Amino acid sequence: MKAFQKLPLFLLFLLLTHTVSAQVVKELQQWLALEREARPALADQPFATKSISKKEAQQAMLLLTQDRDKYIRENWADDWQNKTFTDDTYTFKFDYKTFGEKPADGHSLYISLHGGGGTTKEVNDQQWRNQIGLYQPAEGIYVAPRAPTDSWNMWHQEHIDHFLEKLIQAAVVFEDVNPNKVYIMGYSAGGDGTFQLAPRMADHWAAAAMMAGHPGDASAANLRNIGFTIHMGGKDAAYKRNELAQVWEGLLDSLKASDPKGYAHEVQIHENLPHWMNRRDTVAVPWMAKFTRNPLPEKVVWQQDDVLKESFYWLAVPQSAMERGKKLTATHQLGEINILESDYDTVLINLNDTMLDLNKKLTVKYQGKEIFKGKVKRSILPIWQSLEAKGDKYLLFSAQLKVVN
């Protein structure tokens, strides 16, 4: 201790902080060494909320990700091999093919939704089999799931989101998929689903392609950071699909004009073609492949759908405040968060050192007015919570800041 007393105060502080944070990582390793069923709740462990350094945060992210990958390998392998996921209510079958050589950064993943909808099981099964052979990317894992229900809104329901998240996580582990190269697409009723799932799960996708579907009540606001393409037969007049495709073209053009760095899109109306476009829509696959997801975009536009979400990219809101239609728009740049508009009194901002230098002070403004300035501490608990929420190694956050507008 006498030797420590001779050190300058700032060096002593750094040494003691490093010692504490190194001990935190060791305690995390001890916690992870326990069988999952024997692990006490992490939120109740004192080490989980202690301050850690950037290096320790990176170590914790790696340890927790490796632990989750191990769990998936040990518990989902049979499901992946059998090409079937189940929960207490639904069965989610899928088939997949592999195309091309795996790039150094991992395979792409294309999730392709079949048509059919509110019809018989036999018709939807036939549509599923057709979807399996409908598209062929130059590279990637091409997956065609079978909708768990035979209803008109078979791709709109909340259980679909959970199954798709599980599908992505499994493909990352078993097929070495790159989470930043995941694409969703669909034809007819699958196009209806793409209209819904592309915006409400936009933080999962690099790009999306909608073929011959109907938008229903979907909002385009959340598409700001992904590529989105529409293909429609010019004579596909049922339910005014062709007219609505043109409406969406104008909508996307308008969003792009007002926000030039976002809303990359392409709309192709294939004149003189009906609902079946004679495979003209296959050009959507290489178009999507040009996009790579940015999991931490500088600007996020988030509008709640009827399937409510607690988080979207690096933003989150209290569960009690979630409500359909509520909107939140925010930016991050050079150590500053700007909340441009918010229908929430309280906003939760998830942070990591890829976004911002957490060793420096952070400024948060709401419509130009400063509402916070200071440092935030890294800890293990938000890393674990963000991994449990999304299972995505690129959406791990070592700090969370709660601000009130």
Chain centroid to CA 256: 22
DSSP state of 309: -
Question: In degrees, to the nearest 5, what angle opens at C-alpha 228 toward C-alphas 286 and 104?
Answer: 45
N-to-C CA span, the chain:
46
Asked if 277 contacts 229 with a C-beta cutoff of 8 angstroms, the reply is no
Secondary structure element (H or E) that encloses residue 54, with its range: helix 54-75
Per-domain residue ranges of the chain: 28-71+295-405, 77-289
Instruction: Tell me the backbone φ, ψ of residue 201, rounded to 5 degrees.
Output: -115, 30
Q: Is the dihedral of CA 67, 70, 75, 81 positive or negative?
A: positive
Q: What is the pLDDT along the chain (405 residues), one digit of tens a residue?
A: 444 445 454 443 444 444 556 899 999 999 999 999 999 999 999 999 999 999 999 999 999 999 999 999 999 999 999 999 999 999 999 999 999 999 999 999 999 999 999 999 999 999 999 999 999 999 999 999 999 999 999 999 999 999 999 999 999 999 999 999 999 999 999 999 999 999 999 999 999 999 999 999 999 999 999 999 999 999 999 999 999 999 999 999 999 999 999 999 999 999 999 999 999 999 999 999 999 999 999 999 999 999 999 999 999 999 999 999 999 999 999 899 999 999 999 999 999 999 999 999 999 999 999 999 999 999 999 999 999 999 999 999 999 999 998
Secondary structure element (H or E) that encloses residue 140, with its range: strand 140-146
Helix, strand, or coil (residue 302): strand
pLDDT value at position 405?
81
Within 8 A by CB and 6+ apart from 320, the residues are none
Number of residues in the chain: 405
| Gap between the Cα atoms of 107 and 59, Å rounded | 25
Asked if 164 contacts 178 with a C-beta cutoff of 8 angstroms, the reply is no
Asked if 389 contacts 310 with a C-beta cutoff of 8 angstroms, the reply is yes
| Gap between the Cα atoms of 138 and 385, Å rounded | 36
77-289: which CATH architecture? Answer: 3-Layer(aba) Sandwich (3.40)
Chain centroid to CA 190: 19
List the 177-187 sheet strands across, edge first: 84-86, 91-99, 140-146, 107-113, 177-187, 207-211, 227-233, 265-270
pLDDT value at position 22?
82
Query: Which residues in 385-396 are b (16+ Cβ under 10 Å) and which e?
Result: bbbebbbbbebb
User: Parallel, antiparallel, or unpaired: how do β-strands 336-342 and 327-333 relate?
Assistant: antiparallel
pLDDT value at position 21?
62
pLDDT value at position 231?
98
Asked if 54 contacts 359 with a C-beta cutoff of 8 angstroms, the reply is yes
